[in-house]
Amino acid sequence: MKSEYSEIFDRAKPYLDTRNNEIHVKVVCNYAERLLESFPNADESVVMPAAILHDVGWKMIPEKDQLKAFGPTIKDTNLLRVHEVEGVRIANEILKEVNYDAEKIEEILNIIEGHDSRLTALSLNDELMKDSDKLWRFSKTGIEIDHRRFEKELGKYIAWLQCKIPDWFFTSAGEEMAKESIHEAKQLLII
């Protein structure tokens, strides 16, 4: 992660100590950086803070309730929305604390506000954020954590993920990264 975003990340850390979110955010940021290389007209100064801050709102949901709101079998979409709304509030505080550009803050908050619940993208920046977030699921780390978290047998979980690739990604670059990542993960996880 570039140094200009490290203060945002440092201020976000206290909100990322749930749901493996610190690990999640680092992986998401790595994918965001890679996607940004393919889209020079995207705005890194919007995508990267959104990637860092998109899940800070999970901190406001008791851990015992979090699994109801995400994963292969969502049971409570209201909690999913709570994490987005709370994420906007917390991200706004953090971005103002670091004196981030006000126009950029507005776009970043709009992205965070619907990063999971909104099925369409507001902009290319939003597409890259959404694709980066989904790409976590296809990383070796994401697969290892999530198949256990969701109590899914590894091979079946990977097969389920592969079926989702055509539906989940906004960019062809994101889709290709998902295919590459899951292939690499399968090799490393010996599937």
pLDDT in tens, 29-48: 999 999 999 999 999 999 99
The structural domains of the chain, ordered by start, are 3-189 (1.10.3210.10)
CA distances from 115 to 53, 154, 186 (A): 11, 26, 27
What are the CA-CA distances from residue 1 to residues 20, 25, 51, 75, 77 (Å)?
Answer: 18, 10, 11, 34, 31
Which phi and psi angles does 13 have, rounded to 5°? Answer: -50, -45
- Can you tell me the mean pLDDT for 147-155? 91
| Lookup result for tokens 């996880």 | 189
In this predicted model, what pLDDT tens digit does every residue of 94-116 receive, in sequence order?
A: 999 999 999 999 999 999 999 99
Amino acid 63: pLDDT: 85
